Structure 1
Amino acid sequence: MAVVDNFAKVASTVLAILKTRCELAAIELEEEWIRLLAYLLLSLSALFCLALTVLLAVILIIVLCWDTYRIAAIVGLMVFFGAIACVIAIGVRRSFSRKPKLFELTRQEIAKDIDRLTPSA
């Protein structure tokens, strides 16, 4: 019976390890999905600001032949929305370059498990 008890303990430990690693993988996958959604929303915001910049540039070209006092306001708005688009794009790029690899923590934990379970030579 001792062999059966030891086997049951080992099997229980291995199953607990697998359960923990699967939960960690699920958490990492959820974090990656949230990060991707944030990138999408920020990118759409940047594209919206860029579209406003282009629209205002077209209006500026039209107004250049018109009154002189409206130009400063349009240029100011173009610079404002263009700067917002640049800041958002730089933030998304920086955040994307700093993000951890997919399932990095899970891979590290599995590597630790393998090292612990492998007998030393």
Structure 2
Amino acid sequence: MSESPSPKFLESLRNLTGSVVSMLQTRLELASVELAEERTRLMKVALLACFGLVFFSMALMTFTLLIAILFWESYRWQAIGAIVVFYVICAAICLFIARQKVRNAPPLFESTLAELDKDREMLRR
């Protein structure tokens, strides 16, 4: 003897399914908004970094030329060598700091994952 499920149970099950689907849709929308914001932020940072690198490169070339002209008669090779060593040290420091920043970066969808954890905990109750 099997009893057919009551209409209220089926309606509750539909409501629960609708709520879960709605929560999932909301979380996916949040993830897409976060992704769009991150993409926009990264594009701005990349553009500013490119302009900064261009201007910094021009300043370094001018500085190198100035030092070479100042020491041309007496210590030109030593001056140019010292500048090269200085540039290599600066590059190594920058690469080290960049590597640390990449390693310590937060997860990409941190807010979305936190909301999904809250949803999972709410559904367990």
Normalising TM by the smaller chain, what interval? 0.5 to 0.7
**TM-score, normalised by the number of residues in structure 1:** 0.63
**Which one-letter code corresponds to 1:22 in the other structure?**
L
Match of 1:47 in 2: 53
Counting only pairs closer than 5 Å after superposition, residues 61-76 of structure 1 correspond to structure 2 as 61=67, 63-64=69-70
Q: Which structure carries more relative contact order (alpha carbon 8 Å, separation 6+)?
A: 2
- Residue 61 of structure 1: how far off its partner (Å): 4.0
Counting only pairs closer than 5 Å after superposition, residues 19-58 of structure 1 correspond to structure 2 as 19-58=25-64
SS at match of 1:27: helix
Question: Which string of whole-angstrom CA distances, capped at 9 and with x for unpartnered residues, describes residues 6-51 of structure 1?
Answer: 1110111001100100000001111111121122112112211221
Query: Aligned partners of 1:27, 1:100: CA distance in 2, in Å?
Result: 17
Query: Aligned partners of 2:107, 2:23: CA distance in 1, in Å?
Result: 22
- Residue 59 of structure 1: how far off its partner (Å): 3.7
Give the counterpart of 1:2 among 8, 14, 20: 8
- Structure 1 moving runs of 4+ over 4 Å: 96-100
Query: Aligned partners of 2:13, 2:35: CA distance in 1, in Å?
Result: 33
**TM-score, normalised by the number of residues in structure 2:** 0.62
For structure 1, list consecutive stretches of 5 or more residues without a partner in the other structure: 66-88
1:115 aligned to 2:118? no
Query: Aligned partners of 1:106, 1:14: CA distance in 2, in Å?
Result: 15
